[in-house]
Homo-oligomer: A and B are copies of this chain.
Amino acid sequence: MKCVLHIAPFVMTFEEMIRVAIVEDITDIREGWAGILGMSEGFTCEFTFSNAEDALQTLKQHPVDVVLMDINLPGMTGIECMTLLKPLHPQMQFMVCTVYEDDEHIFSALKAGATGYILKKTEPGKLLDSISDLHQGGSPMNSMIARKVISNFQKPQAEPNLYTLTQREQELLQLLSKGLRYKEIANQLFLSPDTVRTHIRNIYRKLEVQSRTEAINKVFHS
């Protein structure tokens, strides 16, 4: 687990430089990107990390402009890392750079605070453009990914919330929110109606509510 500090040569004023950090476990890729950034005007690669834990520790005290973040890392994932870092430094921009093109990874990354999402196959020139773009307030992304984001946007969504409910309780709440009666829930889950009652009682206790509607509002409608 190493953390390499790249000191940028002062060939231009520091203000103009976009300060970048790289979080990527594959050495070749990490050093390749760092090399590209180092050679390019307007960019300075301030840190490179081979894992999310090191990145978290350093970046929470030394934020940069843009973080190039891989998702699949040993130990903590890039998503978890962003979730922790974003609230600390809301102005810090995260560019996810990964091989994943599936909905789940894309949406988790965006929810964690990523505002750029590019694929590892992106060529170097495009990478630099994307970093600039992100830094200037854009959201660079592959148009196939944009499509997924738009599709999701066009459909109404209802996403769950966690609270401290157990898996089973969340499952119950899900059915509760559909308007099913206790008996129907019991049948669907092969449970006794009494068990359903018990679960729901526990859900209400945890959520500090007194009715189905209150529970649904609290968990599903912020």
Residue from B137, B176, B209 within 8 A of A147 (CB atoms): B137
**Does A211 sit at the interface, judged by CB under 8 A?**
yes
A residues 174-195 near B (Cβ < 8 Å) are 176-179, 181
**Does A128 sit at the interface, judged by CB under 8 A?**
no
Shortest CB distance A82–B (Å): 12
Contacts of A149 in B (CB 8 A): 139, 146, 149-150, 153
Residue from B143, B152, B154 within 8 A of A138 (CB atoms): B143
A residues 121-146 near B (Cβ < 8 Å) are 133, 137-144, 146
Q: Are B110 and A150 in contact (CB under 8 A)?
A: yes
Interface stretch (choices A11-19, A29-37, A39-47, A214-222) = A214-222
- Can you give 16 contacting A-B residue pairs, CB < 8 Å? A113-B154, A133-B143, A138-B144, A138-B147, A139-B143, A139-B144, A140-B146, A146-B149, A149-B149, A149-B150, A156-B159, A177-B217, A179-B212, A179-B213, A179-B214, A181-B211
8 further A-B pairs in the complex, CB-CB below 8 A; given A138-B142, A140-B143, A156-B221: A115-B147, A138-B143, A138-B146, A146-B149, A177-B213, A179-B214, A212-B212, A216-B216
